């Protein structure tokens, strides 16, 4: 079996900070094994645990330069800038320099943003015979990155980077976060003691000094707090690597990377079902080479992904594919030299407007490792890539940048003050990126789950096809501003409703909730004059049954549906009586009042609720505990005329 482990893990130890208090995660097998295990961890790019073992060795053999140097190298890889510089300097005894000393010292200075000193040291390293040719080949680009860093640090961006905290972040690795449109569902890659399979070697065999593999974890926001994360599904997580790379705005489709036996790595997706998630479905854009990350536009019609397939500009390149009316993906096309360089490009993300997109690159004017860049999809081209700036970008790898329509970016870092290794942070980027591409988030509940939703502009051009949630009928998607839209809803039984949405007068991000209640067509056994869609017949119903209690029939009133329930003003509704909260699988909290024994009671509460400002308040009908409609109850003979 050929598992290309290093290809996937090369991105994972992004910015880890050294902390001796975290070393309880690995238990040394004893001094006889420490060096062997440390070298094995380095080969796996697990510098976190390698550093622990080199530290043990250095304590036992304090005069050994190699251990001190390797501790310094690990700290470089873990982005522990001050410790890295201190240890590299310490590894030189008198005039005796360890192998490749000046190269590593230059990297340590660059990591500390001491770019001028780093450039001097890199130039010295170019002229030293003790520096390996492999490192010398890298130096010209490293010098260029230092020059880029000098310019970028001069004009820092005013941003606050906030740790998501527990229970999301732990002592283990959490990264590559994706969220749905209203930020009620968070899916991310987890790598630690809870990983499927435990410690393993690259052949997926248990190994005491092995490494943990990636799993996909999920959490829901309830009452403003993230729930305890859990493995998303046994259908998804296996002994090998699985990591989320993208999510549809409604959270019903998640795109996932998986290591495969016959290929080095492929892209898949899963779909939300009534009782969980589907099996993994392989995407046709994969090749026999490595595909490791992707993004899909909010309307599901455009995909940008990374691959090392032949014919690119070098390393990983970004490719684009579009979906036709038949649902088939086009042959992938390289994004060209405005985006791709001779270095790696990876981790793309298309914004809510379907045009602006970010990606990470080691080329362009990166200040070190991967930096995050911005571009825009044009008709047949792309805008020149722009570095989004420091301190979002640093001298370490900056990657896995995912932005909600609200303007919150989810981002991986291990900056000082973190909880463990890689942590997930959020950044408000509304004034940096999102002011260029505001959208409207249309959300709500359709009375029948699995209803089809079609969005068209005023000219009848299709702008997206969606399906309401299989469990509770919820839906949410983005609409770009500046246009008029017709949104049609079709239930599984063929009932239809349509709404108009006008975004021409909107200039910033907004959220609009529209709940859809299907009005059932007249059953054959019901006379046409008793179709309750006819106003006169509804008046007759109210006159006949409005005050009547009917066995097993109960009415409720929905007075609010909120993705952020803390915004619901509970106090002003208490006069109505007991208010029930119900959190759907979509993360939206619905507030209901009832139970009422006759229709008029519920109607009266609905009218009062609308006067208080809830224009979307409506009556819910339940028969024997199941939600239904008045027309269905007439068809069953519960109400007769």
Are residues 323 and 348 located together in one domain of the fold? yes
What pLDDT was estimated at residue 611? 85
213 with 319, same domain: the answer is yes
- Residue 141 and residue 281 share a domain: no
Please check whether residue 413 lies inside any domain of the structure: yes
User: Which residue, 123, 139, 154, sits at the end of a domain?
Assistant: 154
139 & 169 share domain: no
Which residue, 486, 513, 540, sits at the end of a domain?
513
Q: Note whether 183 and 407 are within 8 A (CB).
A: no
Task: Indicate if 405 and 453 belong to the same structural domain.
Answer: no
- Does residue 523 sit within a domain? no
Q: Where is 599: in which H helix or E strand?
A: helix 599-611
Q: Is residue 315 one of the residues assigned to a domain?
A: yes
- Yes or no: say if 452 and 467 are a contact pair by the CB < 8 Å rule: yes
Q: Name the DSSP letter for residue 543.
A: H
Same structural domain for residues 446 and 590?
no
Residue 488: how many other CB atoms lie within 10 Å:
14
Percent of the chain topping pLDDT 90 = 59
The answer on 424 and 446 residing in a single domain is no
CATH of the domain at 549: 3.30.70.1070
Is residue 230 assigned to a domain? yes
Same domain, 421 and 555: no
Model confidence, pTM: 0.76
Together in a domain, 119 and 192: no
Cβ count near 298 (within 10 Å): 24
Helix (H) or strand (E) holding 444: strand 439-445
- Distance (Å, rounded) from C-alpha 403 to C-alpha 434? 9
Q: Are residues 270 and 281 in contact, defined by beta-carbon separation less than 8 angstroms?
A: yes
Contact status, residue 159 vs residue 392, Cβ threshold 8 Å: yes
Of 436, 459, 476, the domain-final residue = 436
Residues 279 and 402 in one domain: yes
- The pLDDT-based confidence of 7 (bands split at 50, 70, 90) is very low
Tokens encoding 350: 């298309």
- Spell out the residues 6+ positions from residue 445 whose beta carbon is closer than 8 angstroms to its own: 468, 472, 473, 474, 475, 515, 516, 561, 584, 588, 590
Read off the CATH number of the domain in which 500 is found: 2.60.40.3110
Check pLDDT > 80 for residue 532. Answer: yes
Once rounded to an integer, what is the mean pLDDT over residues 248-255?
95
Of the pLDDT bands very low, low, confident and very high (cuts 50, 70, 90), residue 55 is: very high
Lowest-pLDDT range of 259-263, 265-269, 272-276, 365-369: 259-263
Q: Looking at residue 213, what is its pLDDT?
A: 93
Q: What's the domain range around 559?
A: 528-636
| Count of structural domains within the chain | 4
Rounded to whole angstroms, how far apart are CA atoms 28 and 534? 78
Nearest 5 degrees, angle CA 161-CA 165-CA 169?
Answer: 105
329: helix, coil or strand? Answer: strand
Strand partners, 579: 593
pLDDT value at residue 529: 55
Closest CA to 357 of 295, 315, 400, 406: 295
Same domain, 589 and 473: no
Token reading at 569:
């003003």
Taking phi first (over 0 means left), then psi (-120 to 50 degrees means alpha), and beta for anything else, what does residue 499 get?
A: beta
Q: Which of 106-110, 541-545, 574-578 has the lowest mean pLDDT?
A: 574-578
Give the pLDDT confidence score for residue 123 in this predicted structure: 95
- The answer to whether the beta carbons of residues 303 and 280 sit under 8 Å apart is no
383 phi and psi, to 5 degrees? Answer: -70, 155
């Amino acid at each position: 079996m050929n598992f290309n482990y290093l290809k996937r893990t090369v991105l994972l130890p992004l910015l880890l900070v050294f902390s001796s208090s975290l070393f309880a995660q690995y238990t040394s097998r004893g001094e006889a094994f420490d060096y062997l295990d440390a070298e094995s961890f380095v080969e796996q790019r697990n510098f976190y645990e390698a550093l622990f073992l080199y530290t043990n060795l250095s304590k036992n053999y304090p005069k050994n330069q190699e251990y001190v140097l390797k501790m310094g190298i690990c700290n470089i890889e873990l982005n522990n800038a001050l410790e890295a510089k201190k240890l590299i300097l310490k590894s030189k005894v008198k005039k005796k320099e360890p192998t490749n000393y000046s190269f590593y010292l230059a990297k340590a200075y660059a990591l500390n943003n001491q770019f001028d000193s780093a450039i001097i040291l890199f130039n010295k390293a170019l002229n030293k015979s003790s520096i390996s040719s492999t490192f010398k080949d890298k130096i010209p680009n490293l010098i260029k990155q230092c020059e880029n860093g000098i310019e970028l640090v001069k004009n820092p961006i005013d941003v606050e980077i906030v740790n998501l905290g527990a229970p999301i972040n732990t002592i283990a690795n959490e990264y590559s976060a994706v969220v749905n449109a209203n930020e009620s569902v968070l899916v991310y890659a987890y790598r630690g003691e809870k990983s499927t399979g435990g410690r393993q070697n690259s052949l997926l065999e248990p190994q005491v000094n092995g490494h943990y593999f990636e799993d996909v974890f999920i959490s829901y926001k309830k009452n403003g707090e993230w729930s305890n994360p859990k493995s998303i599904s046994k259908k998804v997580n296996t002994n090998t690597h699985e990591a989320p790379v993208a999510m549809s705005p409604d959270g019903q489709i998640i795109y996932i990377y998986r290591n495969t036996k016959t290929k080095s790595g492929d892209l898949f997706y899963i779909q939300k079902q009534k009782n969980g998630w589907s099996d993994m479905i392989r995407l046709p854009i994969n090749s026999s080479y490595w595909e490791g990350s992707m993004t899909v536009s909010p309307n599901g019609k455009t995909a940008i992904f990374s691959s090392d397939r032949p014919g690119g500009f070098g390393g990983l390149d970004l490719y684009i594919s579009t979906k036709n009316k038949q649902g088939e993906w086009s042959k992938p096309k390289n994004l060209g030299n405005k985006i791709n360089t001779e270095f790696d490009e990876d981790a793309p993300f298309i914004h809510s407007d379907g045009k602006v997109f970010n990606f990470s690159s080691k080329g362009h004017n990166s200040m070190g490792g991967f930096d995050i860049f911005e571009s825009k999809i044009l008709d047949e081209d792309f805008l020149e890539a722009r570095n989004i700036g420091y301190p979002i970008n640093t001298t370490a790898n900056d990657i896995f940048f995912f932005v909600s329509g609200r303007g919150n970016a989810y981002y991986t870092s291990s900056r000082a003050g973190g909880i463990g290794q890689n942590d997930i942070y959020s950044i408000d980027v509304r004034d940096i990126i999102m002011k260029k591409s505001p959208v409207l988030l249309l959300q709500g509940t359709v009375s029948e789950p699995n209803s089809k939703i079609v969005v068209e502009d005023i000219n009848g051009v299709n702008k997206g096809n969606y399906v309401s949630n299989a469990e509770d009928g919820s839906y949410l998607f983005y609409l770009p501003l500046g246009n008029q839209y017709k949104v049609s809803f079709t239930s599984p039984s063929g009932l239809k409703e349509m709404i108009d949405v006008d975004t021409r007068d909107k200039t910033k991000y907004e959220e609009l909730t529209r709940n859809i209640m299907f009005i059932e067509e007249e059953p054959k056994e019901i006379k046409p004059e008793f179709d309750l869609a006819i106003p006169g017949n509804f008046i007759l119903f109210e006159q006949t049954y409005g005050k009547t209690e009917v066995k097993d029939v109960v009415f409720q009133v929905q007075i609010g549906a909120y993705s952020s329930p803390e915004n619901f003003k509970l106090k002003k509704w208490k006069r109505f009586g007991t208010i029930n909260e119900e959190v759907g699988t979509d993360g939206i909290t619905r507030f209901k009042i009832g139970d009422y024994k006759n229709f008029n009671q519920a109607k009266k509460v609905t009218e009062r609720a609308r006067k208080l400002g809830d224009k979307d308040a409506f009556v819910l009908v339940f028969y024997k505990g199941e939600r239904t409609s008045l027309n269905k109850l007439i068809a069953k003979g519960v109400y007769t005329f």
